[in-house]
Structure 1
Amino acid sequence: MTMTKVLIVDDAMFIRIQLKSLLQSNGFDVVAEAENGKVALEKIQEFKPDLITLDITMPVMDGLECMREIKKLDYSPTVIMLSALGQEKYIQQAIMDGAKGFIVKPYNNESVIKNLNKFKV
């Protein structure tokens, strides 16, 4: 059985560490991390993840811009947006741009796993 390959994209290192630990302990294979959308696009080309958790608010290239770039790629990973409370208008935009779901920060571990398990390959 292959494990779902995940790329975690968030400018906050503590969020990346937290998510990585949570996902790995629940049977996901975290293949890479990125601190902004620009780095994420490089990692996507390199690792071809099945699933991407993508923060919306980041320096250099934010999650919405990154989502639009991901749509142009020759394959389509599942993208789940992460956003702080109060960013609903961005979430709607991300869904219109192709994101498959979203997780609101601060999140609860159980709901993250329940949400992401739907997209396991």
Structure 2
Amino acid sequence: MGKRVLIVDDAAFMRMMIKDILTKNGYEVVGEAENGAVAVEMYKELKPDVVTMDITMPEMDGIEAVKAIRAIDPEAKIIMCSAMGQQMMVMEAIQAGAKDFIVKPFQQDRVLQALNKVLS
């Protein structure tokens, strides 16, 4: 069975893009959240193997969501998704417990490389 992924991004288009890459490569997308607050609730419910987390979102940003998820599950595997120029926030996310990051627009090879690294 494919690894279970929760996709978190406030842009439906970005969720669709990453979902497309993942499902084509044998991953099972178990949920999609449009902000960090929803992501935390879905994480508790779905217990995915890995989370792709956007950084800038309304209500609760990705960094806060990483902290909240890691408080629930210290072993949580979270990959940050950032636009160019968000290096400082990416560093903050890594310090908060994210395992890797991918840059938008998503490159299939890089997305899969990050997932393989985090899940191995």
**TM-score of Structure 1 vs Structure 2, range by shorter chain:** over 0.9
1:36 and 1:51 map into 2 onto residues whose CA distance is: 16
**Mapped contact 1:36–1:58 kept (Cα < 8 A):** yes
- Residue in 2 that maps onto 1:4: 3
Residue type of the alignment partner of 2:46: F
The percentage of aligned residue pairs carrying the same residue is 49
Question: Aligned with 1:119: secondary structure?
Answer: helix
**Given the alignment of the two structures, is residue 64 of structure 1 paired with residue 79 of structure 2, yes or no?**
no
1:41 and 1:72 map into 2 onto residues whose CA distance is: 10
| Runs of 5+ unmatched residues, structure 2 | none
1:74 and 1:31 map into 2 onto residues whose CA distance is: 18
**Given the alignment of the two structures, is residue 31 of structure 1 paired with residue 22 of structure 2, yes or no?**
no
- Residue in 1 that maps onto 2:54: 55
2:83 and 2:118 map into 1 onto residues whose CA distance is: 22
Q: CA RMSD in A?
A: 1.2
TM-score (norm 2): 0.94
Regions of 4+ moved over 3 Å: none
| Runs of 5+ unmatched residues, structure 1 | none
**Mapped contact 1:9–1:16 kept (Cα < 8 A):** yes
- Residue in 1 that maps onto 2:80: 81
Residue type of the alignment partner of 2:98: A
Greater helix percent: which structure?
2
Shift in alpha-carbon separation, 1:50–1:29, aligned structure 2, 3 A? same
- Corresponding residue pairs, total: 120
Bigger Cα displacement from structure 2, 68-77 vs 51-60: 68-77
Shift in alpha-carbon separation, 1:39–1:86, aligned structure 2, 3 A? same
